[in-house]
A and B are shown apart, each in its own frame.
Chain A
Amino acid sequence: MKKIYIIIAIFLILISFSVKASENEEIMKAMKDEINRSMKELFLESLQKPYYIEYTLKIYDPYHITSTLGTLTSSSKDKKAELNVNIRVGDYNFDNSNFFDISLGLFGSTDEEENYKSRTMPYELDYKSLRRELWLATDAAYKQASEILSKKLAVLKNRTRKDSTPDFLQIAPEKSYDTFPYPQFNLNKFEDLCRAVSTKFDSYSNLQISYMGLEYIPETVYYSNSEGREYIKTNLYSGIEILAAAQAGDGMPLYDMYSAYSKSPYDLPREDSLIKAALVVAENLTSLQKAPLLEETYSGPVLFEDNASAELFAQIFAPNLVVQRSPMTESGVQESDRYMSFQNKIGGRVLPEFLSVNAEPGKEFYDKTPLIGYFKIDDEGVPSQQVQLVKNGYLKNLLSSRVPTKRVKNSNGHKRGGAAMMSIIELYSDKNHKKSRNELIKQLLKLCKDRDLPYGIIVKRAANQNIFYTTLQRVAPTHISQNYNPQQFNLLQVYKVYPDGKEELIRGCDAGGFTPQSFKDILYVGNKSNILNFLAPSVTSPYVTGGDLYVGSTVITPSLLFEDGEIKVREDDFPNKPFLPNPLTEVNSK
């Protein structure tokens, strides 16, 4: 009997695989057939034919759950399919790309039919219906590509082009497959998890807002281009965010957050760890409410440890390690200063000589912790490559896609979410500069003494940019300073450390003036690595690329002791506290 069951089970699995395989073949065949037809036949009189066509079809099946105080506030799933068509007219040296047309690029065409970027499609696909969608989207993409090329040529009629870097890198065809069945999402189980964790805030009537969000986004990506490159890959992303907000006695808005990300939802921290994390957030805020203020802006040595060192590196330094090609516009080449510090710095020193940085996109785990910056094939079907970015303090390379720049000519398989982007970035040190926590604090206090400072500063936790802009602004907009300056690094947990080693929690301060150049002032690092899985804001604006706002990335850093840093006092006005007590006070007192 058992045998029969097993045979039936195997048979069913085989059927499901063969169905899936034939579905994949149908999708890839539809893409290839429409590419072939369009490469041969698609052109308008007097305009050039496309030299390159690329289709990216994503089918994703996301789940989102949010909760507060032991109850759900939303729970949804929203299966979708989306098509992106990329057409290039001209040739590899000079085509319609690397040109930003404000009218078409930002607002799109006024003709509603011309929809080829993030085009919503049926998720039930077959050869016939997919061909139809590809046909319409390709037509729209070709017309717009031709228009943009003519605009780019027109601009150059009155200018002399200084940069002769090709617009696109030609590479040999290759087929890659990285697919596996999605882990099924147990909705009830995860809803219960959100209830169980968020209910831990019930006993904290001093907190005004508490929130837990959980999401799981599995997707299958089908890709084919006219060079013969193709791939099918499965991507998974899972995340949990816990957030709470309160006000101190003087009205100062305070918040704290916790996040955890992984590929599979079953690799997320378990219930007991999440409960602990929620309680830490609640306790941190409770302590902060009573903590004294930083009296005046501090300038001196600063130790960033734990999550704060990883956030600092992830927000200030790492985004500069990504190649950016400044697009041409009607008024010339548009230079942005966002994360551009290292574009012309290859060969120069960017860190102290005892520090190096590697990109390790192929690393799935670090000490058993799953890393969400891990991937095998990038969005252009190029296998991800390990890259030595900084060696002994000197910049060696940048993370790149198939769009070459003056200094970086080749792709190292880092096109993610629309343009070149981070993957897993590890900062590491030589042996001599690794110190234990006690040794780092000792060094910090020594520097303070040399500068005649009564105390030093240790930063343990810092705000995550993604959670700040998405979740915090949505869930607790009342707790964001009106004068918030994104250039300032928002700190959550800061301590004064006195010469006797006593640490005192303080509130109301942010890091000011930290730039990529500040990292040259690192004196020593810790002897343990902090892993930060996070959703990194796209380095090249998604408004230009049409890609994703955030890309799952990882940074791994030790604690960092800076010789000099500035910790600023928050100077904005505080909102009044609520007029009536939190109803939780009444309930908890019963």
Chain B
Amino acid sequence: MRLTKSFLIFLTIIIIPNFIYSETNSIIIDAAKIELNRTMEGLKYKELPPYYLSYYIYDSHIFNIEAEDGKIVNNDDNKSRTLDIDLRVGSYKFDNTHIVRGEAFNMGSQRNAFQLPLDDNITAIRNAIWFATDQNYKKAIESYERVLTNTTIKVQEEDTSADFTKENPYTYFENPKTVNVDKKFWEDRLRKISSILSTESWLYKNKTYMTVGLVTKYFVNSEGSEITQSEIRANVVLTASTKADDGMSLPLYKVYFAFNPDSLPDERTMLNDARELVKTLAQLRTAPIMTTYTGPAILSGEAAGVFFHEIFGHRVEGHRLKDPDNSQTFKNFLNSKILPEFLSVTFDPTIRYLNNFPVSGYYKYDDEGVLAQKINCVENGIFENFLMSRSPVEKFPESNGHGRKQAGMNAVSRQSNLIVESNRTVPVDSLKEMLREECKKQGLEYGLLFKKVEGGFTFTSRSIPNSFNVNPLIVYKVYVDKKPDEIVRGVDLIGTPLTTFSNILASGNNLETFNGICGAESGSVPVSASSPSLLVSRIEVQKKAKSQAKPPILDAP
């Protein structure tokens, strides 16, 4: 199951002026290089020597402020330095990471992150790297024995490609960034926002938080790569929820993302958005419940972005083609039509802004030290490419810079900045009229407009139906007879990918972006999804899971 829900678990990082950048950088890189060379050299004559070793060090400073009811709940900042090790024995063709087939609890992707000293003491850092590497080497030897046996006793694999790609070494250095976060300024602002989100007695929950973080990532490997990247990410998230009389919880949120806290929207914008959010919640709590429906719908650009992330993005993550339990939806569609010819889909981690809007799936080098690349997955409706990490698959022997992970996990191919583009657009305002026409054709009284979504999830395993589920927050009924649009609640958008794709009729001339955190087997990574609004001839909605708790018995004090 993949989940893009995580607006509520944004990565946070902070920033403290660091006046000894180059020295710090050299101490971390030096410690890592000394231990890397010592390990490769020292274990060279063992029965199973490592053929590849990389150290990935995340040096992060995270700053987090949280408010509820106009009051501060949390204000902390934390520094950490963690080490990830990728140590492989065997060969590029067959190594200890080879997939083990037929095990019920094969949680192969989990790996420990090791804590490194925060002070720049090369001996202490080397000591921690040494001990962690030894543990990793011992595990690698154990795993290698397991995968050898597993391969012997199981049938020939469908995909016989190698376990690891050969890549060129990369050298890249950027100075660690700095940022100043004015804690008092942000405390004041969050207090004001969360006050608005608790003004009404029926607003039972609210939380407003900001996170700013600086992560400097140091990467060295035995192939000669040496990369230092530094990034700042800032988020402000407003959440509030109420309950309908039938117990249904109704949450809403607003997210702001920027590559620097100074670039976040101003206070006035945030306060206005908070008021707007309360107004929408007021409408939602008395809105009628939507019943099961199948028929035409408009997905706003944001909703369409999440929709593509779930139904398409997770199915073009290349490593899944190796998993014998995966449905591998698009494996046989290479160079075939999967979307209307007016649509193209790209993943571009190299851009920081799209139409002047920051996109959070940006990076220069991926988490396996490979240069990020823009990938055209669908060109004019024709499927052309998968997103690749350093785990090659048949016909795709190289990484295209999409190996990503959270600290402490194993990298797999993951999405970056997903962009749906259309070469045949209609003015976005005319989509409603087209929706009404489509409803008339199908003999329906109304169609649906999905304006805002919370996230979604999808299943790609063969053992369960390959459906997706997108969780809408704001949905309108658009009536054929031009009655005013009516807000409704209580449904999820569901379906299966190939059928839903074939139902896309038209796209608007707008582009909206959803910045979020995507969770999958390699952990949580920041992604974005941008799309024009889409008109779909047939979607299906099902009833949302609902809380059974009554609203509070007594009125607010």
Are the CB atoms of B69 and A132 closer together than 8 Å?
yes
Stretch at the interface among B117-125, B172-180, B415-423: B117-125
Stretch at the interface among B34-42, B299-307, B368-376: B34-42
The B interface is mostly helix, strand or loop, or mixed, namely: mixed
- Whether B131 is near chain A, meaning CB under 8 Å from some CB there, is yes
Are the CB atoms of A125 and B557 closer together than 8 Å?
no
Across the interface, B117 reaches (CB within 8 A) one of A72, A111, A121, A133, namely: A72
Assembled-state Cα–Cα distance A125/B70 (Å): 10
* A133 CB contacts on chain B under 8 angstroms: 69
Q: B-side interface residues toward A, CB under 8 Å?
A: 34-35, 38-39, 42-43, 46, 67-76, 78-80, 115-119, 121, 123-128, 130-131, 134-135, 137-138, 198, 204-205, 243, 247, 249, 547-550, 552-554, 556-557
Assembled-state Cα–Cα distance A171/B121 (Å): 59
CB distance from B111 to the nearest CB of A (A): 14
Assembled-state Cα–Cα distance A587/B123 (Å): 7
Task: Tell me whether A74 and B115 are in contact in the complex, defined as CB-CB below 8 angstroms, given that A69-B123, A579-B42, A584-B123 are known contacts.
Answer: yes
Across the interface, B557 reaches (CB within 8 A) one of A75, A81, A135, A583, namely: A135
Assembled-state Cα–Cα distance A132/B75 (Å): 21
Task: Tell me whether A74 and B123 are in contact in the complex, defined as CB-CB below 8 angstroms, given that A139-B552, A209-B131, A579-B137 are known contacts.
Answer: no
* A132 CB contacts on chain B under 8 angstroms: 69, 198, 556-557
* A75 CB contacts on chain B under 8 angstroms: 79, 118
Across the interface, B131 reaches (CB within 8 A) one of A112, A136, A578, namely: A578
Assembled-state Cα–Cα distance A129/B556 (Å): 11
Are the CB atoms of A580 and B69 closer together than 8 Å?
no
Assembled-state Cα–Cα distance A122/B73 (Å): 4
Are the CB atoms of B119 and A139 closer together than 8 Å?
no
- Whether A334 is near chain B, meaning CB under 8 Å from some CB there, is no
Task: Tell me whether A111 and B123 are in contact in the complex, defined as CB-CB below 8 angstroms, given that A68-B117, A135-B557, A578-B131 are known contacts.
Answer: no
Assembled-state Cα–Cα distance A195/B557 (Å): 51
Assembled-state Cα–Cα distance A69/B126 (Å): 11
Are the CB atoms of A129 and B553 closer together than 8 Å?
no
Assembled-state Cα–Cα distance A37/B554 (Å): 9
Assembled-state Cα–Cα distance A496/B205 (Å): 64
Assembled-state Cα–Cα distance A36/B474 (Å): 40
Are the CB atoms of A80 and B74 closer together than 8 Å?
yes
- Whether A234 is near chain B, meaning CB under 8 Å from some CB there, is no
- Whether A523 is near chain B, meaning CB under 8 Å from some CB there, is no
* B35 CB contacts on chain A under 8 angstroms: 583
Stretch at the interface among A41-49, A390-398, A508-516: A41-49
Task: Tell me whether A71 and B121 are in contact in the complex, defined as CB-CB below 8 angstroms, given that A143-B549, A583-B35, A583-B130 are known contacts.
Answer: yes
Task: Tell me whether A122 and B127 are in contact in the complex, defined as CB-CB below 8 angstroms, given that A33-B557, A34-B557, A71-B117 are known contacts.
Answer: no
Q: A-side interface residues toward B, CB under 8 Å?
A: 33-34, 37-38, 41-44, 67-81, 109-114, 120-126, 129, 131-136, 139-140, 142-143, 195, 202, 208-209, 478, 575-576, 578-580, 582-584, 587
Across the interface, A109 reaches (CB within 8 A) one of B124, B249, B549, namely: B549
* B138 CB contacts on chain A under 8 angstroms: 575-576
The A interface is mostly helix, strand or loop, or mixed, namely: mixed
CB distance from B72 to the nearest CB of A (A): 5
Assembled-state Cα–Cα distance A41/B553 (Å): 9
CB distance from A206 to the nearest CB of B (A): 12
* B75 CB contacts on chain A under 8 angstroms: 79
* B46 CB contacts on chain A under 8 angstroms: 579
Across the interface, B43 reaches (CB within 8 A) one of A68, A126, A579, namely: A579
CB distance from B454 to the nearest CB of A (A): 14
CB distance from A54 to the nearest CB of B (A): 18
Task: Tell me whether A123 and B115 are in contact in the complex, defined as CB-CB below 8 angstroms, given that A34-B557, A576-B138, A582-B130 are known contacts.
Answer: no
20 residue pairs from A and B, CB less than 8 Å apart? A68-B117, A69-B123, A70-B119, A77-B76, A78-B74, A79-B76, A110-B548, A113-B204, A113-B205, A122-B72, A125-B71, A129-B69, A131-B557, A132-B69, A136-B552, A579-B134, A580-B38, A580-B39, A580-B130, A583-B123
* B119 CB contacts on chain A under 8 angstroms: 70-72, 195
Please, which residue of chain A has its CB at the minimum distance from the CB of B549? A111
Please, which residue of chain B has its CB at the minimum distance from the CB of A34? B557
Task: Tell me whether A580 and B249 are in contact in the complex, defined as CB-CB below 8 angstroms, given that A68-B124, A132-B198 are known contacts.
Answer: no
Assembled-state Cα–Cα distance A168/B556 (Å): 30
Assembled-state Cα–Cα distance A564/B493 (Å): 71
CB distance from A115 to the nearest CB of B (A): 9
Are the CB atoms of B547 and A478 closer together than 8 Å?
no
* B243 CB contacts on chain A under 8 angstroms: 113
CB distance from A271 to the nearest CB of B (A): 18
* B249 CB contacts on chain A under 8 angstroms: 112-113
CB distance from A294 to the nearest CB of B (A): 27
Assembled-state Cα–Cα distance A576/B43 (Å): 15
Across the interface, A123 reaches (CB within 8 A) one of B72, B79, B123, namely: B72
Across the interface, B115 reaches (CB within 8 A) one of A73, A80, A129, A208, namely: A73
Q: A71-B124, A122-B72, A123-B73 are in contact. List 10 more A-B contacts (CB 8 A).
A: A33-B557, A68-B127, A71-B117, A73-B117, A122-B69, A143-B553, A578-B130, A579-B137, A580-B42, A587-B123
Are the CB atoms of A578 and B73 closer together than 8 Å?
no
Please, which residue of chain B has its CB at the minimum distance from the CB of A474? B115
Task: Tell me whether A74 and B118 are in contact in the complex, defined as CB-CB below 8 angstroms, given that A38-B554, A580-B43 are known contacts.
Answer: yes
* A131 CB contacts on chain B under 8 angstroms: 557
* B557 CB contacts on chain A under 8 angstroms: 33-34, 37, 131-132, 134-135
Are the CB atoms of B548 and A111 closer together than 8 Å?
yes
* A112 CB contacts on chain B under 8 angstroms: 249, 547
Please, which residue of chain A has its CB at the minimum distance from the CB of B555? A135
Residue of A38, A111, A125 with most partner-chain B CB within 10 A: A111
* A73 CB contacts on chain B under 8 angstroms: 115-118
CB distance from A353 to the nearest CB of B (A): 52
* A71 CB contacts on chain B under 8 angstroms: 117-119, 121, 124-125
* B548 CB contacts on chain A under 8 angstroms: 110-111
* B556 CB contacts on chain A under 8 angstroms: 132, 135
Across the interface, A202 reaches (CB within 8 A) one of B34, B71, B123, namely: B123
* B547 CB contacts on chain A under 8 angstroms: 110-113
* B73 CB contacts on chain A under 8 angstroms: 80-81, 120-123
